[in-house]
Chains A and B, each alone.
Chain A
């Protein structure tokens, strides 16, 4: 569904993605694994149209996303949960949750979201930034489940969360995958993605260095650990 070919991206003069190729099939959970600074977040930002200078092609449902503005990309059903969470400080928790417009039918019902993340309901009228780090992460994920976007970009969604919450998020990902969502998941934690993902990509210095199916992952876990430097 998303076909990435010879993708290059720059921050100003600094060349960060170097001819990256990737395929993200519809309805699959695909991970992007790599060390700090490998270019994972940059990859997500590029898909979302947030990078200044880019070359290559990003074909999504027959359209080259590199030619679109971020809002046009979002309207095609792609949503980002960014690494820094981007909770808006001037908005209440509830306003943060309802900010992204509904772009298609089939998003998650608000009651369902509150059931998944009860903390968010309890803190609905607080300022977004008065939430704990973990709660902010839950809010950032919850925020994009409502919109009806079918392709979710999750940039390290479990970073800094307590194990129970990590489990909770793993269950949520499984659940939305069963609903047919497509997910690109950036993670440092290989164990977390192990039984979630269908396809794993390994990224190093802004290029894909390996690709493996879920079935091959366990056998190659040493190689993955080495690449991740753990």
Chain B
């Protein structure tokens, strides 16, 4: 049953990093949004999916390719997030977290359904940018350039976000508002605007993820839901509230998944949930979670 082949294991773990990067980007956005807004953003996967569709549409209608989409789509998705926060989400801050979850879940189902009506349920093609074709020989595997790019760019993106939050004055404002929003506002900072922009930035990150995923995952209406279910497990494992924790957990679980794919492929799609169960039993607040 267990087939130990070191090249295969290394290869699958490198590919696992690709998934891990997506987990990290998405759980990072969820952590930021939950930390500041107290909203469990179930629509997060949908913004990821919309990011991929936006990249596809930019290509089909305006002939804007991958690199242009990588810049434009986060702006578009961020703008959409801004509208969603102002029109819907901000009315729920005074209520229990559960309402935010229900609202964003409803939004997710609605958006996914709408996309399915317009584009159909099947996957749409999105090609790898021309200057990213080919593969590099790592000795134990051929790693396609594009996947290498996704891993490198994704990690840079995650740590840049971490840097902004943990090391800059802007990030200090965010952290302070997570601790005590009323007091931050009493110091003259417009906290409602900050919440709007944070939601927009969090979902823009998901949008970037969607563009990055478009050439390697199937661009279909369910792609967001499919990944976000795993990402919520990642969040449970990492623990809500830690930025670095969500990055490391996302990447780490990508590796775990890749490892499982090499040694016991049948378990690869469930291994993360198995880890989740173990963590919930042994350490309910998650690996990096703060005490409630």
Q: Does A74 contact B (CB under 8 A)?
A: yes
A89 contact set on B, CB distance < 8 A: 179
Q: Are B183 and A71 in contact (CB under 8 A)?
A: no
User: C-beta contact mask, B157-189 vs A, less than 8 Å → 1, else 0?
Assistant: 000000000000100110110111011111111
When distances are taken between beta carbons in the complex, the residues of chain A under 8 Å from B173 are 99
Which of the listed residues B179, B184, B187, B190 has the most CB atoms from chain A within 10 Å of its own CB? B187
8 closest residue pairs by CB, A with B: A74-B188, A100-B187, A90-B175, A95-B172, A70-B185, A88-B176, A86-B183, A70-B186
Interface residues on B, range: 10 to 19
Chain B residue at minimum C-beta to C-beta distance from A80: B186
Chain B: minimal CB distance from A9 (Å): 15
Residues of B within 8 A of A98 (CB): 169, 172
Tell me if B191 is interfacial: C-beta within 8 Å of chain A. yes
Query: Could you write out 30 A-B pairs with CB less than 8 Å apart?
Result: A48-B186, A49-B186, A69-B190, A70-B182, A70-B185, A70-B186, A71-B185, A71-B187, A71-B188, A71-B190, A73-B186, A74-B185, A74-B187, A74-B188, A79-B187, A80-B186, A86-B183, A88-B175, A88-B176, A88-B183, A89-B179, A90-B175, A90-B178, A91-B176, A91-B179, A95-B175, A95-B176, A96-B176, A99-B172, A147-B187
Interface residues of A in 170-212 (CB under 8 A from B): none
> With contacts A50-B186, A98-B169 known, is A71 near B191, CB below 8 A?
yes
Task: Spell out B's residues near A (CB within 8 Å).
Answer: 169, 172-173, 175-176, 178-180, 182-191
Residue ranges of A at the interface with B (Cβ–Cβ < 8 Å): 48-50, 69-71, 73-75, 79-80, 82, 86, 88-91, 95-96, 98-101, 103, 147
Bound complex: CA A43 to CA B175 (Å): 28
Cβ-neighbour of B176 out of A49, A80, A90, A103 (below 8 A): A90
Chain A residues closer than 8 Å to B187, beta-carbon distance = 71, 74, 79, 99-101, 147
Closest chain-A Cβ to B244's Cβ sits at a distance in Å of 13
CB of B191, distance to nearest CB on chain A (Å): 7
Q: Contacting A74 at CB < 8 Å: which of B172, B176, B180, B186?
A: B186
Q: List, in ascending order, chain B residues with CB within 8 A of A48's CB.
A: 186
Contact A91-B182, Cβ < 8 Å, known A71-B190, A75-B188, A101-B187: no
Contact partners of A100 in chain B: CB under 8 A: 187-188
Output the least CB separation between B79 and chain A (Å).
Answer: 24
Within the assembled complex, what's the spacing in Å between the Cα atoms of A200 and B119? 72
**Known contacts A50-B182, A95-B175, A103-B188; can you find 18 more A-B pairs with CB under 8 A?**
A48-B186, A70-B185, A71-B185, A71-B186, A71-B187, A73-B186, A74-B185, A74-B187, A74-B188, A75-B188, A79-B187, A86-B183, A88-B180, A90-B179, A91-B176, A95-B176, A98-B172, A99-B173
